[in-house]
Amino acid sequence: MTSQNLQLGVIGLGTMGANLARNAARNKAKVAVFNRTKEKVDAFMVAHGSEGEFVPFHTLKDFVKALKKPRPILLMVKAGDAVDIVMQELLPFLEKGDILLDGGNSHFRDTQRREKELAEKGIAFLGLGVSGGEEGALHGPSMMPGGDHHAYKKIEPLLKKMAANDGTGGKCVSYLGRGGAGHFVKMVHNGIEYGLMQLIAECYDLMKNIGHSSNEDFAKIFDEWNAAELQSFLIEITAQIFAKKDPETGDSLIDLVSDVAEQKGTGKWTTEAAMDLGVAIPTITAAVDARILSADPLQRKQLNTENPESLPEPYPEQKSIAELCRSALLLSWLATYGQGFGMLMAASKEYQWNLSFPEITRIWGGGCIIRSSLLTRFRDMFAAPDSEKESLKAQILDLARGERQVDWRRLIAIATGSGIPVPALSASLAYADAIRRKRLPQNLIQAQRDFFGAHTFQRIDKEGAFHVEWRN
């Protein structure tokens, strides 16, 4: 596909599908659109038909015929069975060489299966992770494709036009690997997103209930943080959220939002995949757990007490809660990125994807939800020559030393003593402490396992597996 002959078929005109279709059309592609509901196609054309070269269809047969071979077709339907159903409905009209792209949040194992099934029929398949929300989809997302490399090269000219700028002269799209590599990277991206959002929420809780900051204070605080080391998309939008007033009441809208948070699957999949790989991602797991706990407000109401048992503040007020939160959030943010990259490294080895970490961090530099100035430090480290990597890694670790680390510990002690849960902040600190320890207490666990189950254990002074009779 040359830049002069750009085309794309889009199936599924929900918010993301519609905006990606508009994005492609604005970049001079001919875009065929289809949706199961005829009314949605018609409404899309009324609202956006003048934005580019759109061709609407109400049958899949006509939709496919409108595209030139090899036909690139983007599926923007709900992950799971719906993808398989649409694929089966499309197959009678497809020909060898055609390209299907799944732009939803599909499980990477489903993507691997689908690529294999379609390859047997001569049809290429790409799992396309897309991050950036509805605005990113329209103006430039980060895109994480994996699957058939030959097919990617055919669709690459259009994807590069559609993707966000990476801030270094490139575009936020890059082929990541075969099979489910693209969707796996997107899944880990979403897991990191879960962690970062929970960390921000915990700091908000502490600043509100211990620091007694107002919503106006929060808007200013997050604006200030976004102008410094915590510069990021999530901090930026958080400042805007606290400044938003409800048009009906004039009150801060955030105070009227329910505290029940959904989790749609990718966070849970990330924790499951990490366990399969034997990788610890405690901040991300804590964030998933926090959403699950939030989902039962009736139980929380029944167990609520206005005056929970708590300790006196364990430290004198040397700094404001906001100052402590700033340090703790920065270091926890670094720990969360580290957990995500550790998981990606393990997956790359396990599934033989040969993931490029300079490329992953580069395409996360624009358009996506987890972009930040801290991520840029990881990008610089991964992209540096081997002779410079250790120095850049040391610079990242230096951020977690000194007064900031004291602030981190002080904040968690204050939160715990006050009965305010900070699962993600605590998990981040525990992770950082565990990976730096020369010796962990799991030697006792190994002894216990051998005691009751004869599971054997290893010794530090000699090779082999050992079992002893522990009873005297």
Using alpha carbons, select from 362, 203, 189, 369 the residue that is nearest to residue 266: 189
Q: What pLDDT, on the 0 to 100 scale, is given for residue 304?
A: 66
pLDDT at residue 311 greater than cutoff 70: no
Quick one: CA dihedral 115, 132, 222, 306, positive or negative? negative
Quick one: CA dihedral 358, 359, 362, 364, positive or negative? negative
- Tokens 């804590």 identify what position? 286
Q: What pLDDT, on the 0 to 100 scale, is given for residue 1?
A: 52
Q: Which of 30, 161, 171, 186 is catalytic?
A: 186
pTM: 0.94
Q: What pLDDT, on the 0 to 100 scale, is given for residue 400?
A: 85
User: Mind listing the pLDDT tens digit for each residue in 124-138?
Assistant: 999 999 999 999 999
- Taking residue 11's Cβ as centre, other Cβ atoms within 10 Å add up to 24
Under 8 Å CB-to-CB from 160, ≥6 apart: which residues?
Answer: 171, 173
Give the type of residue at 442: Q
pLDDT at residue 144 greater than cutoff 60: yes
| Burial of residue 96 (number of CB atoms within 10 Å: 0-12, 13-18, 19+) | exposed
- Tokens 């036009």 identify what position? 161
pLDDT at residue 99 greater than cutoff 60: yes
Using alpha carbons, select from 104, 30, 106, 110 the residue that is nearest to residue 74: 104
Tokens of 378: 């990881």
116 is catalytic: no
d(CA 239, CA 217): 10
96 is catalytic: no
User: Mind listing the pLDDT tens digit for each residue in 3-60?
Assistant: 458 999 999 999 999 999 999 999 999 999 999 999 999 999 999 999 999 999 999 9
pLDDT at residue 405 greater than cutoff 60: yes
Mean pLDDT of all residues belonging to the chain: 93
pLDDT at residue 299 greater than cutoff 80: no
Q: What pLDDT, on the 0 to 100 scale, is given for residue 308?
A: 61
Task: Work out whether strand 124-131 and strand 142-147 pair parallel, antiparallel, or are unpaired.
Answer: antiparallel
The residues facing 252 across adjacent strands are 245
Q: Which of 161, 171, 193, 359 is catalytic?
A: 193
